[in-house]
Each structure stands twice: as structure tokens, then as C-alpha cells.
Structure 1
Amino acid sequence: MQVTTLSFENMHHHGELFANMLRARHRTFIDRNNWDLPHADGMEFDQYDTPFSRWVAVHEFGEVLAGVRLTPTTARCGIYSYMIRDAQLGLLDSIPHDLLYREAPVAPHIWESSRVFVADTVPSRMRLRVQCSLIDEMVRSARNLGATSLIGIVPEHSPRLARRTGINCVAAGPVIETGDDERSVCIDIALASKLH
């Protein structure tokens, strides 16, 4: 099993990995979760998949097992910044605007973690190992990018899992409805608590 952080600068060194990650996102968010998201050629993407972002992929033999997108809260592309802030500003119909207890941050040391997934093909005996590999590389990459904290939207139960893997994760907003019987919550992740 390998873990790779992709950027627009280095993705040409990794063959089909970026496209395979977008395909895995399609299977997770569109095929499995029935989310109404942009897609083409079996790949899911949106307005936040820009050169500002980085993508962490856990992969083995060309198959993407898990992934996450990291975007700086200072990003700007047209009218968009990052997903949580844009939802709060009312730019996204699919996410409630009252998802945070405070104003969405804009600071170089805070990055957003989004599109977090573990493929449903990952066997249960491997899931925790895959999740830990994803979290470890996410933290390492975010720190290398200058982040001291992350903000993200995760399934309601994820903060408990995060604590099991050593992440200092606290709710940053109320539980929100994000799909058919799906409940999510915004979280703050302090990166200083997970030192390697």
C-alpha cells in the first residue's frame, strides 16, 4: 500500500493516479451516495479541484483505496473560495449556510479538508489501516504546506474515529443533513497534537 500527495506540479509523475482518484470519488459520492455533483468520463470533480488544492491518495496496484482534498482557506477562483466558506456565503445549494458556529476562516495556516472517502471495496480488516494511512499523510502534507489546523465536513460519527487515530478533532458546527439519511458535521483539526 502506498500513500501519495498529488499536486498539479507533480501529478505527471504518477501516471493515472489522479484520474483514478477522481474515478474513486465518482464511485463513492455519485454512485454510492447519490450526490448530484459534476462529473465526466466516470470522474467526479468540482470547482475546488484547482492548482490551489492538493490530493492525498492511498493506493495499491493502481486502485485508489481512500482519498482527501486539501485546499487553502485563502484560495480564490472566480466567485469561489473553499467549500465550507462558500456554503456559509450561500453560494452552494447542496450544503446549509449555517454549518459553522463562527465565520468561516480565511488564513494561510488553516486549510480545508474535503471529499474525504474510503472506497467501499476496502475490506473491513484493512479499513483502519487505510484510514490511518490517509490521516497520517493528510497531516504530514498539511503541515508541509504551512497549515497548523484543518477545517472540514465529515460524517457525524467521524470525530470518534479521528480520536481513535490520534487526531484532535472537535465539532465546529451543528449536525447538518447532507443527503438521504446522511448527517454530517464541520470539524476543526488541530495538527499540533499529532506529531511524528
Structure 2
Amino acid sequence: MIIIVDSLNAHEYPDLLKQMHELRARVFSGRLGWDVKVVDGMERDAFDELDPAHVISIDDEGRVVGCMRLLQTTGPHMLSDVFSCLLDGEPPIRSPLVWEATRFCVDTNVLVRGAARNSISYVTSEVMIGAFEYGMAAGITDAVAVIDPVMNRVMKRSGNAPYGYLGSPHPMGKVTALAALMDCSEKRIAQIREFSGIHHDVFSVTALEETRP
């Protein structure tokens, strides 16, 4: 189940945000070895202070099992301010119709592999569906994301292949990073749904009106 947490409703979900930042710390600092700031077991950065929207997946027990951060590209964002080396000297995207998707991760300590509802594949697809449906409702046409080659292969297999890339891949910590472009479209969402078998509304029924734009 997906809940969108942004500046308008963040006060209602302090525990979910705490769990999300703890998951990010385990993944980006612990597993991937990225040079990120972790305080009290939580990974946060300056971009979390710019009122992004967080796409949060929770399981039936209310635990955060996946997340993604969405931020406008008209102001500071990671590709322009942190990962600019990926652009090989080209200017970053600046458009009100393009969002940056970063800090995507799933809890591999809790989730299993396979096609089950509590699987890595399912939650990955659920987060993607939630992000693109939320973006479409907000009038977004495209998304740019900093991903690694593993995620790139996952996206290609799951009907969510990037339609292009910016700059060139560069090493980041234990992995290589690249900037990928995706259209925010009904076709893309349909492809992810077909691959994953997720045909129901992924958003929380009780939070639906609060979280969608």
C-alpha cells in the first residue's frame, strides 16, 4: 500500500518518515556504501528540507518496506547539485514538468524474492506505479532518476525501461551511477502493472484523498 507524504501531511506520519529515513540509512550507507549523512540511524540530506513528496510503501503490519523521493527540478536537486559529474558538463534539466526521483530503496531484510505481495519485485513495482500515478495527477510529463546498473536492469525487465540517459555512468561508492529518463505516462504505468500483476489501486484507501494532488 502506498502513502504519499509531503509538506502538507507530514505532521500526520512522523513514524512512517522515521522508518523511511532508517531504511534509507541501511540501504545507502550500509549496503551501497554511499557517502551519506546518517544521524541517530536515519539518513537525511538537504533536499529533504525542500518539501519533496515521499512515495512510501507499507506492508500489512504498517512497516515501511519501500520508498522514493520526488523533487521538482526547477530548484536545487541531486542531479544538479550532487551528481552533476554524471552530466559531463551539460546543464541539468530545469522544468516544472520534470521531477527528479531519488532515494528509491526497498527493505531486502524483510521482503522475499519472487512474485508474492511481500516480495522485492512487488514492492518495487508498487512504488513505481504510485510515483507515476501521483506524478501524472500533478501534471508531470517526465522523471529523471539517478540509478545504478542493477536497478537499470530491473527497470528494463519490469516494463519500466528508461527511454534515454543523460551524460555517462560514473562510479559512486560501491556502485556505478547513471542518470535515466522516464516518461510519466499511462502506457508506462500499464506496462509495470502488466509485469507485476498489480491491477488494484495501490494507494491507501483512507489516505487517498489526502495524498493525491
Q: TM-score range by the shorter chain?
A: 0.7 to 0.9
Structure with greater helix percent: 2
- 1:83-102 aligned at under 5 Å gives the runs 83-87=78-82, 95=83, 97-100=84-87, 102=90
Aligned length: 181
Q: Deviations over 1:152-189 (max 9, x none)?
A: 10011323322333224132221110112x11211001
**Is 2:100 the counterpart of 1:112?**
yes
Residue equivalent to 1:188 = 181
- 1:1-196 aligned at under 5 Å gives the runs 2-60=1-59, 61-75=61-75, 81-87=76-82, 95=83, 97-100=84-87, 102-121=90-109, 122-125=111-114, 126-169=119-162, 170-180=164-174, 182-192=175-185, 193-195=187-189
Q: 1:176 to 1:100 in 2, by over 3 A?
A: same
Q: Structure 2, unaligned stretches of length 5 or more? A: 191-213
Q: Deviations over 1:70-99 (max 9, x none)?
A: 000013xxxxx0010113xxxxxxx4x431
Runs ≥4 in structure 1, deviation > 3 angstroms? Answer: none
TM-score (norm 2): 0.78
Is residue 171–residue 185 contact of structure 1 (8 Å, CA) maintained in 2? yes
Select the structure with the greater relative contact order (CA < 8 A; seq sep ≥ 6).
2
Is residue 147–residue 180 contact of structure 2 (8 Å, CA) maintained in 1? yes
Q: Structure 1, unaligned stretches of length 5 or more? A: 76-80, 88-94
Aligned equivalents of 1:112, 1:85: Cα separation in 2: 10
Is residue 168–residue 190 contact of structure 1 (8 Å, CA) maintained in 2? no
Instruction: Please state whether the residue corresponding to 1:16 is helix, strand or coil.
Output: helix
Instruction: Please state whether the residue corresponding to 2:168 is helix, strand or coil.
Output: coil
Aligned equivalents of 1:147, 1:86: Cα separation in 2: 22
- How far is 1:13 from its partner? 2.6
Aligned Cα root-mean-square deviation (Å): 1.8
- How far is 1:195 from its partner? 4.7
- How far is 1:12 from its partner? 2.5
TM-score (norm 1): 0.84
| Percent of aligned pairs with the same amino acid | 22
